[in-house]
Chains A and B, each alone.
Chain A
């Protein structure tokens, strides 16, 4: 039986306003996630992997509808109803029913639970808040849940501070399950836990899926956890998906240089493991305010070529140099029109044919060129924005260097 689509995410982007503007001041935005699309099938587990600041948590928030999208749509195809979130304002009708269908488990079990209310009230709060049933029903549901999440009945009368980290995370999971959701988001559920507790919680999460056939989205920065828990992985960097596919494939042969770097950076608990000089060139990730030209990762990429991050400026110098080598003249001036296009003005009429020659030779970088007298209008081609390249049915990768290989 082929599983049906539960959630389809179509080219969503999210912007955060970082300066509200007013007067002569401009509004400024930070692009948290950009053109993200993938399809979650029923019963799947997806992991989103990336550094902090890569937009993992923003993606989760967008999926629950806690932030408005700037672009794109998300379609939910639940058993009894279909909901669509889009970037248009005023279309937030189905939100409450959406929240009933989605559960979420947060990172820090110490701040996710209200320290002043009892565990049983914490677990039943979503049930009562969404007016799903009467208060008498909730205790029945909790009793059913307890063996599933591995909590003893006596803990219900405790306060959160009487429980250890692992038990609190179990309470969080119980709270996410109380409304019988179809989809659960885990936002780094084990990153604040110890190794042995992490193993317990991961086993628990897996066993719940086995018995309830839930669909999971798992956010983590630990690749080993992602490998253990999920069948599909998305690798994110600066709000972009760089690689996605089946976990086994990605771990067997990471295609994108960033994925390779991530894999190489995990210290392994094996005797004789040695640190080598880090291959990442720059220390910092950069920010979403000024997204790098071309590939978002090119300025840290160990195998980047000049094509990965060309700007019109650099292209113009390359053309001018080539012309100088050919004719010994500097007879052109250039003007940048937009981020992806520029004009070349030929000052000296004698060298028009040479300029034409150079442009046609570089046609793999230029999309079109229009000639109007002494002016050439040039638009840039692929190096500008790398696109998703389909490798096979499940696997996609966004890297200019791999463009030719999988065309």
Chain B
């Protein structure tokens, strides 16, 4: 098993280009009590390879934002009413618009009849680019199936194309035995192993090669052993390769998805080969997330794993699709401090090693400080402030951010009384006009009755009237 196969999980582009852009997004929920305006006009972007943290209280719309991005809003109830989401410059928010029209037409009868949204190619495409891990790893995994079954199932449904490619590439080694033997004889072991590392090896072949290379036998003896190992590999039957190629061509035309009406069964010889490959791939994924004893974990049921291990399985599944963006919705809230630290470290290394873009949602500012490059503070469905982590933590601009920072009990100095923001989060059925934080804010003035525009201050954006003058000065 080699880890290098996974290095191409995420395209490694160092340039800070914008991967996701959200423009004037509005998300409403149509319920019996009325229209809940969960998100009211937010604008932000995510740079490739960064960790964007979203902070806010419950009800501030941070989870709804995440669900909107992966198209998981409850169908027939919640939808985008305005605004666009651009992923790699492509609009992905079209389906909602269609649904909004449907919902609007039948506004009253909504609670009785939910419009069911068919999983379209388009949606399947989004899910290939953005994946999500959830708060509670306990409820994210099915208790009835082994980890193996759940991982393989997901990989077989979503990554069929990649599995077939891997099998075909492995078979290339087997077919080109003659060329490889020539390369070995004329250019030596070094060149041979370099050539081999660029290809996916058949199961166990790379280990065998490594063992032979590191053994203390003579050069010629090594060569003969490698040739022997090469000849022991048997290529796949021609008709299997043909049908794999055939499938691959079909998959290129459209996104493969199982027929929902019939339960799809993975039977037949080709599927068996694919299943084997999927199992190998899922072990590689578990190794990627530093899971101890991946082989054992594959054979165990979710209840046999600890919370941290379950979350690792979820992260492995999250990166299986080679996503552009991984959304982590409070992935450490249900874990204790030590495990939380390990998971945070894992996500940070994934971000740094693979260049994985992460949108991290939490209400713990300490966790934010540990993982995020930039922080987005949300309040009552609107953005209060966006800026680099160190500036948000050292000199928060928005009064709400200041309140949040002050109300966390600190470990370094003991306070007599904790600061708490007075008042309560506004009801989003009838959100207040103007700044939604005004009724809890000690700086509130007359002008706060009007909606604050976005002010830019030294590369940070803040939505608060307090900074009106400062922008004009600078």
Q: Please give the residue numbers on chain A whose beta carbons come within 8 Å of chain B beta carbons, in ascending order.
A: 51-52, 164-166, 194-200, 202-203, 206, 221-225, 227-228, 248, 251, 261-263, 265-278, 280, 282-285
B233 to chain A, nearest CB (A): 36
B358 to chain A, nearest CB (A): 13
Cβ-neighbour of A275 out of B308, B309, B341, B368 (below 8 A): B341
Asked whether, in the complex, the Cβ of A269 is within 8 Å of the Cβ of B338, the reply is no
Chain A residues closer than 8 Å to B414, beta-carbon distance:
227-228, 248
Q: Evaluate whether A269 and B369 lie within 8 angstroms (CB atoms) in the complex, with A196-B403, A283-B342 already known.
A: yes
Asked whether, in the complex, the Cβ of A51 is within 8 Å of the Cβ of B338, the reply is yes
Cβ-neighbour of B408 out of A164, A165, A195, A274 (below 8 A): A195
Given contacts A51-B339, A277-B345, 7 further A-B contacts (CB under 8 A): A195-B363, A224-B408, A224-B410, A228-B415, A251-B411, A267-B340, A275-B348
**How far is B366's CA from A275's CA once the two chains are assembled, in angstroms?**
11
Asked whether, in the complex, the Cβ of A262 is within 8 Å of the Cβ of B57, the reply is no
Asked whether, in the complex, the Cβ of B341 is within 8 Å of the Cβ of A278, the reply is yes
**How far is B367's CA from A195's CA once the two chains are assembled, in angstroms?**
13
Flag whether B229 is at the interface (Cβ < 8 A): no
Asked whether, in the complex, the Cβ of A52 is within 8 Å of the Cβ of B366, the reply is no
A303 to chain B, nearest CB (A): 15
**How far is B363's CA from A278's CA once the two chains are assembled, in angstroms?**
23
Cβ-neighbour of B365 out of A195, A197, A199 (below 8 A): A195
Which residues of chain B in 309-337 are interfacial with respect to chain A, using CB atoms and an 8 Å cutoff? 309, 336-337
Supply 15 A–B pairs (Cβ within 8 Å), ascending by A: A51-B338, A195-B365, A195-B407, A199-B409, A223-B411, A224-B409, A227-B411, A228-B418, A261-B338, A265-B340, A267-B366, A273-B370, A275-B348, A280-B338, A283-B292
Flag whether B468 is at the interface (Cβ < 8 A): no
Main secondary structure of the interface of B (DSSP, over half): helix
Chain A residues closer than 8 Å to B389, beta-carbon distance:
271
Asked whether, in the complex, the Cβ of A267 is within 8 Å of the Cβ of B364, the reply is yes
Chain A residues closer than 8 Å to B292, beta-carbon distance:
282-283
Question: Among the listed stretches B189-197, B238-246, B419-427, which one makes contact with chain A, having 4 or more residues with CB under 8 Å of it?
Answer: B419-427
Asked whether, in the complex, the Cβ of A266 is within 8 Å of the Cβ of B421, the reply is no
**How far is B414's CA from A248's CA once the two chains are assembled, in angstroms?**
9
Asked whether, in the complex, the Cβ of A223 is within 8 Å of the Cβ of B420, the reply is no
Asked whether, in the complex, the Cβ of A267 is within 8 Å of the Cβ of B370, the reply is yes
Asked whether, in the complex, the Cβ of A269 is within 8 Å of the Cβ of B365, the reply is yes
Which residues of chain B in 355-380 are interfacial with respect to chain A, using CB atoms and an 8 Å cutoff? 363-371
Chain B residues closer than 8 Å to A195, beta-carbon distance:
57, 363-365, 404, 407-408
Asked whether, in the complex, the Cβ of B420 is within 8 Å of the Cβ of A203, the reply is yes
Chain A residues closer than 8 Å to B339, beta-carbon distance:
51, 283
A250 to chain B, nearest CB (A): 12
Q: Please give the residue numbers on chain B whose beta carbons come within 8 Å of chain A beta carbons, in ascending order.
A: 57-58, 292, 306-309, 336-342, 344-345, 348, 363-371, 389-391, 393-394, 403-405, 407-412, 414-415, 417-421, 424-425
Chain A residues closer than 8 Å to B371, beta-carbon distance:
275
B378 to chain A, nearest CB (A): 12
Q: Evaluate whether A269 and B368 lie within 8 angstroms (CB atoms) in the complex, with A228-B409, A275-B344 already known.
A: yes
Asked whether, in the complex, the Cβ of A269 is within 8 Å of the Cβ of B417, the reply is no
Chain A residues closer than 8 Å to B405, beta-carbon distance:
269
A188 to chain B, nearest CB (A): 11
**How far is B421's CA from A197's CA once the two chains are assembled, in angstroms?**
8
Asked whether, in the complex, the Cβ of B408 is within 8 Å of the Cβ of A203, the reply is no
Chain B residues closer than 8 Å to A277, beta-carbon distance:
345
**How far is B411's CA from A273's CA once the two chains are assembled, in angstroms?**
14
Asked whether, in the complex, the Cβ of A267 is within 8 Å of the Cβ of B407, the reply is no
A212 to chain B, nearest CB (A): 17
B308 to chain A: closest residue by CB? A283
**How far is B301's CA from A132's CA once the two chains are assembled, in angstroms?**
49
B365 to chain A: closest residue by CB? A269
Asked whether, in the complex, the Cβ of A268 is within 8 Å of the Cβ of B366, the reply is yes
Asked whether, in the complex, the Cβ of A194 is within 8 Å of the Cβ of B369, the reply is no
Q: Evaluate whether A199 and B369 lie within 8 angstroms (CB atoms) in the complex, with A52-B307, A225-B409, A228-B414 already known.
A: no
Chain A residues closer than 8 Å to B366, beta-carbon distance:
266-269, 273
**How far is B419's CA from A197's CA once the two chains are assembled, in angstroms?**
10
Asked whether, in the complex, the Cβ of A221 is within 8 Å of the Cβ of B337, the reply is yes
Asked whether, in the complex, the Cβ of A267 is within 8 Å of the Cβ of B344, the reply is yes
Asked whether, in the complex, the Cβ of A278 is within 8 Å of the Cβ of B393, the reply is no
Cβ-neighbour of A196 out of B394, B412, B420 (below 8 A): B420
Chain A residues closer than 8 Å to B337, beta-carbon distance:
51, 221-223, 262, 265-266
**How far is B424's CA from A197's CA once the two chains are assembled, in angstroms?**
9
**How far is B341's CA from A202's CA once the two chains are assembled, in angstroms?**
25
B344 to chain A, nearest CB (A): 6
Chain B residues closer than 8 Å to A198, beta-carbon distance:
407, 409
A49 to chain B: closest residue by CB? B337
Asked whether, in the complex, the Cβ of B345 is within 8 Å of the Cβ of A275, the reply is yes
Q: Evaluate whether A221 and B407 lie within 8 angstroms (CB atoms) in the complex, with A268-B369, A278-B341, A283-B342 already known.
A: no
Complex A-B, nearest 9 residue pairs according to Cβ-Cβ distance, in ascending order: A199-B420, A269-B365, A271-B390, A267-B370, A267-B366, A199-B407, A199-B418, A265-B341, A51-B336
A211 to chain B, nearest CB (A): 14
Cβ-neighbour of A270 out of B338, B369, B420 (below 8 A): B369
B423 to chain A, nearest CB (A): 10
**How far is B300's CA from A284's CA once the two chains are assembled, in angstroms?**
15
B55 to chain A, nearest CB (A): 9
Chain A residues closer than 8 Å to B391, beta-carbon distance:
271
Asked whether, in the complex, the Cβ of B393 is within 8 Å of the Cβ of A271, the reply is yes
A198 to chain B: closest residue by CB? B407
**How far is B391's CA from A271's CA once the two chains are assembled, in angstroms?**
7
Chain B residues closer than 8 Å to A52, beta-carbon distance:
307, 336
A90 to chain B, nearest CB (A): 36
B369 to chain A: closest residue by CB? A273
Asked whether, in the complex, the Cβ of A269 is within 8 Å of the Cβ of B340, the reply is no
Asked whether, in the complex, the Cβ of A227 is within 8 Å of the Cβ of B342, the reply is no
A246 to chain B, nearest CB (A): 12
**How far is B388's CA from A272's CA once the two chains are assembled, in angstroms?**
11
Chain B residues closer than 8 Å to A273, beta-carbon distance:
366, 369-370
Asked whether, in the complex, the Cβ of B409 is within 8 Å of the Cβ of A278, the reply is no
A275 to chain B, nearest CB (A): 5
- Residue of B307, B308, B369 with most chain A CB atoms under a 10 A cut-off: B369
B325 to chain A, nearest CB (A): 21
**How far is B391's CA from A120's CA once the two chains are assembled, in angstroms?**
47
